[in-house]
Each structure stands twice: as C-alpha cells, then as structure tokens.
Amino acid sequence: MSKSALVVWGGWDGHEPRQCMEIFAPYLEAQGYDVRIENSMDVYEDADYMNSLSLIVPIWTMGEITREQEQGLLNAVKSGVGIAGWHGGMGDAFRKNTEYQFMVGGQWVAHPGGIIEYMVNIAKPDDPIVAGLSDFAMKSEQYYMHVDPGNEVLATTTLSGEHIPWVEGTVMPAVWKRAWGEGRVFYSSVGHVAADFDVEEARTIVERGMLWASR
C-alpha cells in the first residue's frame, strides 16, 4: 500500500506555517509519501479521503475549526490515521475545542519570558524517536502546557523560574506520543518558527515522529 500524507497549514502567520510546511512536506516526499498540501481545513470533512491517509500533519495556530471539520479529523485519527505536529501548529490550534486538545495530549498556556535560551532533555533515550540524540539547547519559546498524564513522554524541559518564579524547577513534557483510538499521535513543543528547525535535533525529532505516527 502506498503511503499518503496530508499537510494542512494556516492560522496565525507568526508561527510561519507556510515556511514550516516547506521544510517537512519535501522530507515526506523524499520518504516516498504522496503528499497533499492544503491551506483550508475543509478537506477534513471528506471522510473517505481522510480515512484513506497514512498521516496528517496539521500546522495551524489559534484558529477556529467547525464541528464538522473537527469530527472529520478526530474520526480519521481514531480509525488509524497517524497525526504528528509541533509547537502551536498542533498544541495551540483551537482553544475552544477540548476534544481536539484531548487527542493532542496537551494545550499551550504560557511561554514565560518569550524568546529565551533553554534546554531540551531526552527523557527516554531508548525510544526510536529520540534514540542517539543528546540533550540540546534552543533559543526560542519554551512552552508551558497543560498535559495529559497518559502521554508517553520522550523529552522534557525545565522552567528556570526567572520569568515566573512560582514555576521554578517545573519539569515540563516537551515531546510525547500517545494513542487516539487506533491512531498514533506525536507532538513536540519545539519549533516556534521555521529557523528553529535549523537545530538538527529539533528537526530530527519531528521527522522521526512523523514516520512513527504514520499508519
């Protein structure tokens, strides 16, 4: 069976959704996927197409999704289609939609200090998504998230407390995987703008996460 991926980009321009799509869509094509790129979520309502996919990559921040679009997306994942994404493109997409957030396994709530220097720490070095990678530094937004305790956490980041003193020392999940029905869900909070993926570890984790999630 041939592999097919849907990449849907849009929403808030500050996260550079088009530029991020231009990093990861060619990667999937190089891995042998038939990649369809959409700048609208209407495709989520096409149940036959959605359920035929191997992988969905949503890159959409602070948007509004219709009930029909949301159900089409969630049902496809539940049926076994993989979903993989990063930062606000998946973890701060639809603030009113709690079932979508339940599927993702977390929701952005803060990034103390804005663009700061922080570390990402590999938490499960035997997992194929992060295997062989060392802890790495980022200069970007460090996401504070409300997260599902059922996530399988692959990497974390620790809050310094410099900007919000009462969260000092909080160990925050940064990369995880989970299930939604028959589907695999992958998420990384790293990747505020396209240039963040110049950091090899940040890009590699998303590339491997997409392949892992894919049906």
The residue among 196, 154, 201, 193 whose CA lies nearest residue 175 is 154
As a whole number, mean pLDDT of residues 3-25 equals 98
In this prediction, residue 4 carries a pLDDT of 98
Calpha distance 156→21 (Å, rounded): 25
13 class by beta-carbon count within 10 Å (0-12 exposed, 13-18 middle, 19+ buried): exposed
Convert the pLDDT of each residue in 166-189 to its tens digit.
999 999 999 999 999 999 999 999
Cα–Cα distance measured from residue 198 to residue 16, given in angstroms and rounded to the nearest whole number: 14
Q: Which residue has the tokens 């410099």?
A: 162
The mean per-residue pLDDT over the stretch 1-7 comes to 92
- DSSP string covering 97-127, please? -HHHHHHHTEEEEE-TTSEEEEEEEES-TTS
pLDDT at 143: 98
Summarize pLDDT for 82-134 with one digit per residue, the tens. 999 999 999 999 999 999 999 999 999 999 999 999 999 999 999 999 999 99
Q: Tokens for 54?
A: 């191997």
What H or E segment, with its residue span, contains residue 36? Answer: strand 33-38
- Please check whether residue 183 is in contact with residue 105, taking contact to mean a CB–CB distance below 8 angstroms: no
pLDDT per residue over 27-83, tens digit each? Answer: 999 999 999 999 999 999 999 999 999 999 999 999 999 999 999 999 999 999 999
133-142: pLDDT as tens digits: 999 999 999 9
> In one letter, which amino acid is 14?
G
Average pLDDT over residues 152-160: 98
Nearest to 144 by CA among 169, 122, 125, 126: 169
* pLDDT value of position 122: 98
The whole model's pTM is what? 0.98
Q: State residue 1's pLDDT score.
A: 64
Which CATH number do you get for residue 209? 3.40.50.880
- Range of 98's domain? 3-213
